[in-house]
């Protein structure tokens, strides 16, 4: 085989490999998790980013097709035409420098414009809709503290916002660098210890949008998830008001025995039995180590190292999107959080039986 033929065979093989790899990469995009898709924008920032992404995809795709077609044409065409030096030089200048240069400058200009567009400081300077709601988010290994400073509300792993209104989000971190990303609503912004970054979240429709820590922050980085819940504005006000309330105190069971004997065997606990269980669970919580890390507003539990549990039962998930918030999963979490999310900051407990049941009943009453 001549040198020339050999070279062509190698080139052809390379082109085939490149084509297969590109197709595989593209199909990877197509099966991306539907819950966190940047190409399914649900707010203005994500929309601007999506337009930019589509531009890069289609322009880049067109360049790729043209280059591959020309490579194949060169491989198939055997004879080199002589005497067309001038045209070749022009072609090299256009296709090698002028056109790629124009594409790169165009895409850069668009990306600068998109960055300006989604920058909250820029929006404020332009006097565009000033954010009426401010949320502070503090990153922790491996969960999110969410505070509404003007309303005295603290929650965790859920950011509730009203629809059709830019919400200013102030970001900082307690330990290492994290990054907040809700692909359907906006781009990523880092949470950095000792400084405050701002971003805007805006959702055009009510719904639940999944987000994710997007900066590797330790063993459980992948289980540092959260949701943004967008409400109609009136519903949002209702949510804020409910969250601003201190925790519901258990009903004290009446001292006088009622006409219904409590030891009567039933499958379902009566309301009174449930109330007693909840009151007992409050005791268990307040006399356990839980109080050193967790706050339950209106009680003596005022720890700040862990998610606020004042309204934990109103949340959709436990441990930053790791588990659904059901009684069974709550029990599994409390008994052995290290088995579920190894390396997280919560130790296990040896509570069991009646005490555990009571604790679960109490936590589930915290709506
Ligand atoms: C040393 C501190 C510490 C102690 C003690 C502790 N926790 Fe936690 N707890 C945490 C941390 C940190 C998290 C968040 C873990 C994560 O998601 O990475 C957490 C998460 C939770 C959650 C999930 C909250 C949510 O919204 O995701 C519940 C419920 C909970 N703890 C209950 C308890 C109970 C009940 C006790 C006492 C038996 C207890 N914890 C003791 C630190 C602690
Ligand atoms: Cu993180």
Q: What pLDDT shows up at residue 32?
A: 35
Closest-lying ligand to the alpha carbon of 175? 2
Check whether residue 99 and residue 176 sit in a common domain.
Answer: yes
Among residues 234, 263, 282, the one where a domain terminates is 234
Q: Going by CA atoms, what residue is nearest to atom 10 of ligand 1?
A: 346
Residues 6+ apart with CB under 8 A from 37: 183, 184
220: in domain: yes
Average pLDDT of every residue of the chain: 87
Whether 216 and 281 map to the same domain: the answer is no
- Supply the pLDDT for residue 31: 36
Q: Write down the pLDDT at residue 273.
A: 85
Residues 188 and 301 in one domain: no
Q: Looking at ligand 1, which residue's alpha carbon is closest to its atom 38?
A: 290
**112/230 same-domain check:** yes
Q: Extract long-range pairs of 144-150: CB within 8 Å, 24+ residues apart.
A: 144/180, 144/224, 144/226, 144/320, 145/174, 145/307, 145/308, 148/240, 148/243
pLDDT beyond 90 at 265:
no
Confidence of residue 260 (pLDDT cuts 50, 70, 90): low
Domain count for the chain: 2
Range in 83-97, 107-121, 206-220, 273-287 with the lowest mean pLDDT? 83-97
Distance CA 42, CA 185 (A): 6
The domain of 276 spans 271-365
CATH of the domain at 282: 2.60.40.420
Pocket test for ligand 1, best of 285, 300, 346, 362 (most atoms within 8 A of CB): 346
State the closest ligand 1 atom to the C-alpha of 289, by its place in the atom list counted from 1: 5
Answer whether residue 241 is part of any domain.
no
| In a domain? residue 244 | no
Query: Length of the chain in residues, anyone?
Result: 367
Residue pair 144/177 in contact by the 8 Å Cβ criterion: no
The neighbour count for residue 160, using CB atoms within 10 Å, is 21
Domain boundary among 177, 209, 234: 234
Tell whether 282 and 222 lie within a shared domain: no
pLDDT at 237 over 50: yes
- Name every residue whose Cβ is closer than 8 Å to that of residue 127 and which is 6 or more positions away in sequence: none
Residue 282 domain-assigned (yes or no) = yes
Cα–Cα distance, 354 to 153 (Å, whole number): 32
Question: 95 lies in a domain?
Answer: yes
Q: Is 302 in the same domain as 180? A: no
Mean pLDDT of 104-128: 82
CB-based burial of residue 243 (10 Å sphere; 0-12 exposed, 13-18 middle, 19+ buried)?
buried
How buried is 270 (Cβ within 10 angstroms: 0-12 exposed, 13-18 middle, 19+ buried)? middle
Angular region, 297: left φ>0, alpha ψ -120 to 50, beta rest: beta
Judge whether 21 lies within some domain: no
Among 60-64, 84-88, 250-254, 302-306, the minimum mean pLDDT is found in 250-254
Predicted local confidence at residue 254, as pLDDT? 59
Q: Is 64 in the pocket of ligand 1 (CB under 6 A)?
A: no
**197-201 vs 158-162, strand pairing mode:** unpaired
Whole-angstrom distance, CA of residue 175 vs CA of residue 192: 8
Q: What is the pLDDT of residues 125-150, one digit of tens each?
A: 665 556 788 999 999 999 999 999 99
> What CA–CA distance (Å, rounded) separates 164 from 43?
8
Whether ligand 1 lies within 6 angstroms of the CB of 297 is answered as no
Q: 176 C-alpha to center of ligand 2: Å?
A: 8
Residues 305 and 179 in one domain: no
Ligand 1 centroid to Cα of residue 337, in Å, is 8
Give me the pLDDT at residue 37, please. 85
| Angle formed at CA 144 by CA 285 and CA 298, multiple of 5 degrees | 35
Ligand 1, residue 284: give the atom nearest the CA.
Answer: 38
Separation of alpha carbons 173 and 168, rounded Å? 17
Q: Is 293 in the pocket of ligand 1 (CB under 6 A)?
A: yes
Tens digits of residue pLDDT in 8-47 = 666 667 766 666 666 555 544 433 344 788 888 989 999 9
Q: Which of 44-53, 161-170, 247-256 has the lowest mean pLDDT?
A: 247-256
CA–CA–CA angle 265, 271, 273 (5° rounding) = 55
Give residue 19's pLDDT.
Answer: 65
Segment holding 26, helix H or strand E: helix 3-30
Enumerate long-range contacts of 125-128, CB under 8 Å, 24 or more apart: 128/166
Distances (CA, A) of 224 to 219, 227, 296: 10, 11, 22
* Distance from residue 355's CA to the centre of ligand 1 (Å): 17
List the one residue out of 6, 308, 336 whose CA is nearest residue 144: 308
Residue 248 lies in a domain: no
Question: 362 CB under 6 A from ligand 1?
Answer: no
pLDDT band at 330 (very low <50, low <70, confident <90, very high): very high
- Beta carbon of 358 within 6 Å of any ligand 1 atom: no
Q: Mapping DSSP to helix (H, G, I), strand (E, B) and coil, where does residue 356 land? A: helix
Kindly state whether residue 135 falls inside one of the protein's structural domains. yes
- The proportion of the chain whose per-residue pLDDT surpasses 70, expressed as a percent, equals 82
C-beta of 315 in contact with ligand 1 (< 6 A): yes
218 and 301 in a common domain: no
| Statement: residue 7 has pLDDT above 70 | no
Please check whether residues 175 and 294 belong to one and the same domain: no
- Kindly state whether residues 219 and 296 are assigned to the same domain: no
8 Å CB contact between 317 and 157: yes
Q: Which residue, chain included where needed, has tokens 């490579």?
A: 71
110-119, 182-191, 192-201, 283-292, range with the lowest pLDDT = 110-119
Share of the chain above pLDDT 90, in %: 67
114 and 216 both lie in a single domain: yes
pLDDT band at 118 (very low <50, low <70, confident <90, very high): confident
Residue of 217, 325, 337 with the most ligand 1 atoms within 8 Å of its CB, for mutation: 337
Whether 148 and 297 share a structural domain: no
Helix (H) / strand (E) element for 331: namely helix 327-335
Beta-carbon contacts of 183 under 8 Å, excluding residues fewer than 6 positions away, are: 36, 37, 38, 40, 46, 211
Question: What is the C-alpha separation between 246 and 265, in angstroms, rounded?
Answer: 35
Closest residue (by CA) to atom 2 of ligand 1?
Answer: 293
Average pLDDT estimate for 52-68: 95
What's the pLDDT at 33?
A: 42
CA dihedral 325, 331, 336, 342 (to 10 degrees): -10
Question: Domain boundary at 213, 234, 255, which?
Answer: 234
Residues 51, 58: Cα–Cα separation, whole Å = 11
């Amino acid at each position: 085989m001549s040198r020339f033929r050999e070279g062509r065979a190698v080139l052809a093989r390379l082109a085939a490999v490149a084509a297969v790899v590109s197709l595989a990469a593209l199909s990877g995009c197509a099966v991306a998790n539907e819950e966190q898709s940047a190409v399914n924008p649900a707010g203005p920032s994500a929309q601007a980013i999506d337009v930019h992404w589509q531009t890069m995809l289609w322009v880049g795709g067109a360049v790729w097709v043209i280059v591959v077609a020309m490579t194949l044409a060169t491989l198939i065409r055997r004879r080199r035409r002589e005497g067309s030096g001038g045209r070749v030089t022009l072609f090299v200048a256009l296709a090698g420098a002028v056109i790629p240069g124009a594409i790169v400058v165009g895409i850069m200009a668009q990306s600068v414009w998109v960055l300006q567009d989604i920058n909250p400081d820029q929006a404020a300077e332009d006097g565009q809709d000033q954010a009426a709601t401010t949320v502070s988010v503090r990153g922790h290994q491996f969960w999110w503290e969410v505070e509404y400073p003007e309303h005295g509300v603290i929650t965790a792993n859920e950011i509730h916002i009203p629809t059709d209104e830019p919400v200013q989000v102030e970001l900082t971190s307690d330990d290492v660098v994290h990054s907040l990303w809700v692909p359907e609503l906006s781009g990523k912004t880092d949470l950095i210890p000792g400084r405050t970054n701002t971003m805007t979240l805006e959702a055009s429709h009510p719904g639940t949008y999944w987000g994710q820590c997007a900066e590797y922050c330790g063993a459980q980085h992948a289980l540092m998830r959260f949701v943004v819940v967008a409400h109609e504005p009136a519903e949002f006000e209702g949510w804020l008001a409910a969250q601003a309330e201190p925790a519901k105190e258990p009903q004290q069971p009446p001292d006088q025995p009622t006409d219904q004997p409590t030891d009567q065997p039933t499958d379902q606990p009566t309301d009174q039995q449930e109330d007693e269980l909840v009151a007992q669970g409050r005791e268990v919580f307040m006399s356990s180590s839980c109080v050193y890390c967790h706050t339950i507003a209106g009680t003596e539990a005022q720890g700040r190292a862990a998610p606020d549990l004042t309204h934990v039962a109103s949340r959709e998930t436990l441990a930053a999107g790791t588990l659904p918030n059901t009684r069974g999963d709550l029990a599994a979490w409390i008994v052995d959080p290290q088995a579920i999310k190894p390396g997280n900051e919560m130790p296990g407990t040896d509570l069991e039986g009646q005490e555990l049941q009571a604790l679960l009943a109490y936590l589930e009453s915290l709506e």
